[in-house]
Protein backbone atom coordinates (compact mmCIF):
# COMPACT_ATOMS: atom_id res chain seq x y z
CA UNK A 1 0.00 0.00 0.00
CA UNK A 2 1.12 3.52 -0.78
CA UNK A 3 -0.22 6.71 0.80
CA UNK A 4 -0.30 10.04 -1.03
CA UNK A 5 -1.32 13.14 0.91
CA UNK A 6 -1.55 16.83 0.17
CA UNK A 7 -3.84 19.82 0.22
CA UNK A 8 -6.88 20.36 -1.97
CA UNK A 9 -6.05 21.00 -5.61
CA UNK A 10 -2.36 20.17 -5.27
CA UNK A 11 -2.17 17.48 -7.99
CA UNK A 12 -2.28 14.29 -5.94
CA UNK A 13 -4.43 12.32 -8.40
CA UNK A 14 -2.48 13.48 -11.47
CA UNK A 15 0.78 12.64 -9.73
CA UNK A 16 -0.40 9.13 -8.83
CA UNK A 17 -1.64 8.48 -12.37
CA UNK A 18 1.63 9.63 -13.89
CA UNK A 19 4.09 8.17 -11.39
CA UNK A 20 2.43 4.76 -11.14
CA UNK A 21 1.02 4.47 -14.69
CA UNK A 22 -2.60 4.44 -13.54
CA UNK A 23 -5.50 4.77 -15.99
CA UNK A 24 -8.43 7.02 -14.97
CA UNK A 25 -10.72 3.96 -14.84
CA UNK A 26 -8.50 2.46 -12.13
CA UNK A 27 -9.14 5.40 -9.75
CA UNK A 28 -12.22 5.13 -7.54
CA UNK A 29 -13.58 7.30 -4.76
CA UNK A 30 -15.70 4.76 -2.85
CA UNK A 31 -14.35 2.31 -0.29
CA UNK A 32 -16.72 -0.37 -1.55
CA UNK A 33 -15.21 -0.19 -5.06
CA UNK A 34 -11.61 0.07 -3.87
CA UNK A 35 -11.13 -3.60 -3.11
CA UNK A 36 -10.42 -4.26 -6.78
CA UNK A 37 -9.08 -0.82 -7.78
CA UNK A 38 -5.53 0.45 -8.07
CA UNK A 39 -6.25 3.83 -6.42
CA UNK A 40 -8.68 5.07 -3.78
CA UNK A 41 -9.06 8.82 -4.20
CA UNK A 42 -10.46 11.19 -1.53
CA UNK A 43 -10.21 8.92 1.51
CA UNK A 44 -11.27 11.89 3.66
CA UNK A 45 -14.66 11.99 1.92
CA UNK A 46 -15.23 8.30 2.59
CA UNK A 47 -14.35 8.83 6.26
CA UNK A 48 -16.97 11.61 6.41
CA UNK A 49 -19.56 9.40 4.73
CA UNK A 50 -18.89 6.57 7.18
CA UNK A 51 -19.20 8.88 10.17
CA UNK A 52 -22.50 10.29 8.88
CA UNK A 53 -23.82 6.74 8.43
CA UNK A 54 -22.60 5.51 11.83
CA UNK A 55 -20.00 3.18 10.29
CA UNK A 56 -16.52 2.78 11.75
CA UNK A 57 -14.19 3.96 8.95
CA UNK A 58 -11.10 2.49 10.61
CA UNK A 59 -12.43 -1.06 10.21
CA UNK A 60 -13.28 -0.51 6.54
CA UNK A 61 -9.87 0.97 5.75
CA UNK A 62 -8.13 -1.86 7.58
CA UNK A 63 -10.18 -4.41 5.63
CA UNK A 64 -9.36 -2.63 2.36
CA UNK A 65 -5.63 -2.78 3.04
CA UNK A 66 -5.86 -6.45 3.94
CA UNK A 67 -7.82 -7.34 0.79
CA UNK A 68 -5.97 -5.01 -1.60
CA UNK A 69 -2.41 -4.64 -0.25
CA UNK A 70 -1.13 -2.96 -3.44
CA UNK A 71 -3.63 -0.10 -3.42
CA UNK A 72 -2.60 3.54 -3.55
CA UNK A 73 -4.63 5.66 -1.13
CA UNK A 74 -4.93 9.39 -1.73
CA UNK A 75 -6.08 11.65 1.09
CA UNK A 76 -6.42 15.40 1.39
CA UNK A 77 -4.70 17.00 4.36
CA UNK A 78 -7.29 18.38 6.75
CA UNK A 79 -5.24 19.29 9.81
CA UNK A 80 -3.80 22.61 8.69
CA UNK A 81 -5.63 25.80 9.45
CA UNK A 82 -8.37 26.88 11.82
CA UNK A 83 -9.97 24.26 14.06
CA UNK A 84 -13.57 23.79 12.88
CA UNK A 85 -16.40 25.08 15.08
CA UNK A 86 -18.73 22.18 14.24
CA UNK A 87 -18.27 19.04 16.33
CA UNK A 88 -18.72 16.73 13.32
CA UNK A 89 -16.01 18.54 11.37
CA UNK A 90 -13.58 18.26 14.29
CA UNK A 91 -14.25 14.54 14.67
CA UNK A 92 -13.97 13.98 10.91
CA UNK A 93 -10.64 15.79 10.82
CA UNK A 94 -9.33 13.91 13.85
CA UNK A 95 -10.43 10.47 12.65
CA UNK A 96 -9.05 11.06 9.15
CA UNK A 97 -5.71 12.14 10.60
CA UNK A 98 -5.49 9.12 12.87
CA UNK A 99 -6.38 6.77 10.00
CA UNK A 100 -3.60 8.32 7.91
CA UNK A 101 -1.15 7.87 10.81
CA UNK A 102 -2.00 4.17 10.96
CA UNK A 103 -1.76 3.82 7.18
CA UNK A 104 1.63 5.55 7.18
CA UNK A 105 3.02 3.04 9.68
CA UNK A 106 2.55 0.13 7.29
CA UNK A 107 2.73 1.91 3.93
CA UNK A 108 5.45 0.99 1.48
CA UNK A 109 5.78 4.71 0.81
CA UNK A 110 4.22 7.98 1.93
CA UNK A 111 4.39 10.96 -0.40
CA UNK A 112 3.16 14.51 0.01
CA UNK A 113 2.26 16.45 -3.11
CA UNK A 114 2.48 20.24 -3.11
CA UNK A 115 1.99 22.27 -6.30
CA UNK A 116 2.18 19.03 -8.25
CA UNK A 117 5.61 18.23 -6.85
CA UNK A 118 5.97 15.00 -4.84
CA UNK A 119 8.04 14.83 -1.66
CA UNK A 120 8.84 11.38 -0.36
CA UNK A 121 8.24 11.23 3.40
CA UNK A 122 8.72 7.49 3.80
Q: Does domain 2-120 have CATH number 3.40.50.300?
A: yes
Identify the pLDDT of residue 5. Answer: 98
Please check the confidence at residue 8 and state whether its pLDDT lies above 90: yes
Whole-model pTM: value is 0.94
Please give the Cα distance from 30 to 117 (Å, whole number): 26
Identify the pLDDT of residue 84. Answer: 81
Of 17 and 84, the structure prediction assigns the larger pLDDT to 17
pLDDT digits (tens, 9 = 90+) for 46-83: 999 999 999 999 999 999 999 999 999 999 999 877 88
Q: Cα dist. 23→5, 11, 15, 68 in Å?
A: 19, 15, 12, 17
pLDDT digits (tens, 9 = 90+) for 85-109: 899 999 999 999 999 999 999 999 9
Domain boundaries, the chain: 2-120
Mean pLDDT of 24-45: 94
Please give the Cα distance from 1 to 10 (Å, whole number): 21
Contact call for residues 3 and 40 (beta carbons, < 8 A) = no
Amino acid sequence: MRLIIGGKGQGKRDYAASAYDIAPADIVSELSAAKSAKVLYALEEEVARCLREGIEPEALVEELCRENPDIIIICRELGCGVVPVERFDREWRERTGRICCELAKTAESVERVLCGIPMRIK
